[in-house]
Amino acid sequence: MSIKRMSLRFNLDNEADRKAWEHLKNITDSKNKTVIATVNQFYEPHTEITETIKETIRECLQNFSAIKTETEQSPELLTEDENLLLDSLDDFLGDGRH
């Protein structure tokens, strides 16, 4: 059996370290098992809760259907003044038909 040892230090002046220490010091079970389980959950996030969430979403959406209706947009009609303005802009800027 191969055993690897690791030592942890907690700087209680650092908020993240202090929070971690507070959590660990209140554990009544094996701190070693807790740390191992936590590291594994962090690096393997697809746990039972993920599958439960996916299944819940599937169940909620199984009878859902969406229908997209197309609405025809009528072309925007310009007033005579707007058409004259656009014509004068074409003349001023050049309409590319020369």
Tens digits of per-residue pLDDT, 53-67?
Answer: 888 988 988 888 877
- The pLDDT assigned to 97 comes to 52
* Contacting residues for 24 by C-beta, under 8 A, at least 6 apart: 31, 34, 35
Distance (Å, rounded) from C-alpha 86 to C-alpha 89? 5
Percent of the chain with pLDDT over 90: 35
Give the burial class of 10: count Cβ atoms within 10 A of its Cβ; 0-12 exposed, 13-18 middle, 19 or more buried: middle
Distance (Å, rounded) from C-alpha 61 to C-alpha 78? 45
Mean of the per-residue pLDDT values for the chain?
84
Q: Decide if 21 contacts 10 (C-beta within 8 A).
A: yes
What band does 93 get if pLDDT is binned at 50, 70 and 90?
Answer: confident
Check whether 42 has a pLDDT greater than 70: yes
